[in-house]
Every structure is written in structure tokens, then in C-alpha cells.
């Protein structure tokens, strides 16, 4: 009876945690709509969204710039957070992240290849290359991470990802330098930014991200079993192969779609799942992926939007790309995680 009471108490606390995170995200959306080269008071933002803009300039700024930018941060942030949490669960590797394990670099290289070599200038054309590059990089990193006598270890996988990422970014730069159009697009896009995109771009990528999110969230129960080990999971009736295949497809869609639009933003998928696990532990739900995945999907856009807002304010009137500021947070976090894993695992 006591166990049932404890389980019943966990649900409302977890729901409250999700609600509070959603409230923080909503507040950040409001701040994102307010600050920029032109500061717009929040009440004017609200009136503009309701169709009663105080001026044509404010109307244009909100609908053409701020709203697409904010929604893009919401959607791509959620995609990166989900893919990071999913990768860490599938590999049982706390260092897993689409940026660190080469998934983002694979997508970025394929996009620049499509633009610089094949001349594809529209998202509808090169997004398929982003998916193919993300998938190929995922397979390559996992193959390299399993080499050697000691077999597969989390730190070896992370190091394989860093090596593949370095090689792919070098190749990406080489391709970009041979084509002026590709170089102009790459210089801004490679830093990872929410600026410069319109609502049409978001509508084109949204179906892919939505399918990836559904696939990722439907893995939650299976991931709870997989956390106990492959043998235990199989004894519980879980098909680990189909689960991992579904997870790889979800990560490919989420990361490939996000990278194609905002560039290779790294560390969001690394930092956010760890924060989600700490908060979930305080909420009493522990490592339950039915709560961790939605929580990661809410926390990640909080981080991305906060970085984007800070980038607009730190060096006004010049903007610092969100990906640069996220790296300032994620880099030391990654180093701390590697130190905790004690490179003796090698």
C-alpha cells in the first residue's frame, strides 16, 4: 500500500515539473519577442499578435523576424534535446550528443556538399542530404567506437565522434572554400544561428521533426527496459534491434532537420539530458524516460532561446550567434564529464 502511495505521489510532482519548465519556456518566448535591434514592449508584442500593431514597423519586426525566430528556437531546440536524450539512452553513454558523436558534422558536410558541388540552393533540395549525412556519420562513429581489444566503451565512442567530427568539419571547410556561394552561406550557418530564417523554412522542416519526435517519444518504455541491460531487456520481451533502429531513424530526422535549418549547434543534446535527470530525480521519477524525454524537449529550447537572447544583448548592435554561446556552456561541461569518466576506461 505504501509503494502505491509513493507511485501516486510521483505523478503530480513530475507534471508540476513539466508545467514549471513550460512556464519558463513561455517566459523566454516572450523575452525573445521583445528584445533585439528594435526593443518592443511586451504589451505591444501581444497587441501585434492579436492584429492590433502600433505601427507597420513593429508589425513587420514581430511577424517577419521575431516570431519565426522564436518558433524556430522552440522546434529545433526540442529536436536537439530529444535526440541527445535518445542517444544517451540507446548507447547508455552519458557523453553522447549529436554534436560530439559526429551526427551534426555529418549532416553539415552533406549540406555543404549539396550546395557547393551540386548547386542545390533550397532547403527542400538539400535536407535529404542532411539526413543521409547524419545517418552515415552515426554508423561510422559506432563502428570506430567498437574497434580494439576492449571493445565498445563510452569514452572510446566519444573520442571516435570527436575524431570524425574534426575530419568532417575539415572536409566541409575545404568544399566551402572552393565555392564562393557555399562559403558565404557556410560562414554564417556554421556558427549555429536562429536568425535569417522565415516561416516557410520552418514549415518545410516541421514534418520531418514531428515524425522524429513521435518516434523518439514512443521509444520511452523500451528505453527503460534497455537501461537494465540488453540481456534483461530481451528477457522482458523487448526487441532491442528494432528499438535501436527506430532510435537511429528518430535521431537522424531530428538532428538532420535541425542542422539543415540552424546549422551544427553542438552541446545542447549533451547538457540538457543531464539537467533533466537531476530535475527528474528531485521530482521523484528517477531515470524514467517517459518523463525524461518530454522534459528534455522542454529544457533544450530554453537553453537555445536563452543563448539566442543573450547573443542579441551582449554586443549590441552586433549579434553573437546562439551556437557560439551554447559552446561556452557545453565545452566546460563536456570536459567535466570526460574527467568524471576517468580516461582509464580506455
Each residue's pLDDT tens digit, 155-195: 777 788 888 888 998 888 888 777 776 677 677 677 778 88
Strand boundaries in 214-276, DSSP class E: none
Distance CA(1)–CA(5), nearest Å, equals: 6
The three-class DSSP label of residue 77 is helix
Identify the band that residue 292 occupies on the pLDDT scale cut at 50, 70 and 90.
Answer: very high
User: Could you tell me what percent of the chain has a pLDDT over 70?
Assistant: 89
How far apart (Å, rounded) are the C-alpha atoms in residues 88 and 68? 30
3-state secondary structure of 153: coil
Q: Could you tell me which residues come within 8 angstroms of residue 71 by beta carbon, excluding any fewer than 6 positions away?
A: 199, 202
pLDDT digits (tens, 9 = 90+) for 98-130: 877 888 888 888 888 888 777 776 767 777 888
Residue 145 CA to residue 100 CA, distance in Å, equals: 13
Condensed to tens digits (0 to 9), the pLDDT of residues 313-330 reads: 887 777 888 888 888 887
pLDDT of residue 8: 43
Please report, in angstroms and rounded to a whole number, the separation of the first and last CA atoms in the chain: 46
Cα angle: 131, vertex 162, 168; to 5 degrees: 50
| Cβ–Cβ under 8 Å, residues 102 and 164 | yes
**Measured between alpha carbons, how far is residue 311 from residues 3, 186, 190, 269, 304 in Å?**
48, 19, 16, 20, 10
Q: Indicate the angle between helix axes 103-116 and 180-189, nearest 10 degrees.
A: 150
For residue 319, is it left (φ>0), alpha (ψ between -120 and 50) or beta?
A: beta
Instruction: For the beta carbon of residue 310, count every other beta carbon within 10 angstroms.
Output: 16
Largest CA distance in the chain: 70
Q: What pLDDT is attached to residue 181?
A: 67
Could you give the angle at the alpha carbon of 21 between the alpha carbons of 16 and 13, nearest 5°?
20
Tell me the C-alpha distance between 323 and 267, whole Å: 9
| Residues 87/96, Cβ–Cβ less than 8 Å | yes
The domain spans of the chain are 13-49+67-345
Q: Are 133 and 108 in contact (CB under 8 A)?
A: yes
CATH classification (class only), 13-49+67-345: mainly alpha
Q: Is the alpha carbon torsion for 268, 273, 274, 279 positive or negative?
A: positive
User: Over the stretch 195-250, which tens digit does the pLDDT of each residue have?
Assistant: 877 777 788 889 999 999 999 999 998 898 888 877 787 887 777 788 888 988 89
Amino acid at each position: 500500500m505504501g509503494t502505491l502511495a509513493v507511485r501516486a505521489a510521483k505523478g503530480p510532482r513530475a507534471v508540476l515539473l513539466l508545467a514549471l519548465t513550460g512556464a519558463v519556456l513561455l517566459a523566454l518566448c516572450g523575452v525573445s519577442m521583445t528584445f533585439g535591434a528594435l526593443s518592443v514592449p511586451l504589451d505591444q508584442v501581444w497587441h501585434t499578435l492579436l492584429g492590433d500593431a502600433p505601427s507597420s514597423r513593429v508589425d513587420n519586426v514581430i511577424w517577419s523576424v521575431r516570431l519565426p525566430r522564436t518558433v524556430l528556437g522552440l522546434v529545433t531546440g526540442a529536436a536537439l534535446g530529444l535526440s541527445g536524450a535518445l542517444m544517451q539512452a540507446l548507447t547508455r553513454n552519458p557523453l553522447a550528443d549529436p554534436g560530439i558523436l559526429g551526427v551534426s558534422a555529418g549532416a553539415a558536410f552533406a549540406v555543404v556538399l549539396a550546395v557547393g558541388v551540386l548547386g542545390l540552393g533550397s532547403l527542400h533540395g538539400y535536407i535529404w542530404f542532411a539526413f543521409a549525412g547524419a545517418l552515415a556519420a552515426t554508423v561510422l562513429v559506432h563502428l570506430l567506437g567498437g574497434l580494439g581489444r576492449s571493445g565498445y566503451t563510452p569514452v572510446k565512442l566519444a573520442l571516435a565522434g570527436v575524431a570524425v567530427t574534426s575530419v568532417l568539419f575539415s572536409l566541409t571547410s575545404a568544399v566551402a572554400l572552393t565555392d564562393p556561394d557555399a562559403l558565404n552561406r557556410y560562414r554564417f550557418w556554421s556558427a549555429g544561428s536562429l536568425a535569417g530564417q522565415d516561416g516557410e523554412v520552418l514549415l518545410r522542416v516541421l514534418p520531418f521533426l514531428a515524425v522524429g519526435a513521435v518516434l523518439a517519444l514512443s521509444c520511452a518504455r523500451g528505453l527503460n527496459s534497455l537501461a537494465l541491460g540488453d540481456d534483461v531487456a530481451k528477457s522482458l520481451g523487448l526487441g532491442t534491434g528494432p528499438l535501436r533502429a527506430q532510435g537511429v531513424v528518430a535521431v537522424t530526422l531530428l538532428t538532420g532537420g535541425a542542422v539543415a535549418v540552424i546549422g551544427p549547434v553542438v552541446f545542447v543534446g549533451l547538457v540538457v539530458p543531464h539537467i533533466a535527470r537531476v530535475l527528474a530525480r528531485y521530482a521523484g521519477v528517477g531515470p524514467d524516460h517517459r518523463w525524461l524525454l518530454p522534459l528534455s524537449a522542454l529544457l533544450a529550447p530554453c537553453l537555445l532561446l536563452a543563448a539566442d537572447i543573450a547573443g542579441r544583448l551582449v554586443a549590441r548592435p552586433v549579434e553573437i550567434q546562439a551556437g557560439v554561446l551554447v559552446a561556452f556552456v557545453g565545452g566546460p561541461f563536456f570536459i567535466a564529464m570526460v574527467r568524471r569518466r576517468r580516461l582509464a576506461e580506455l
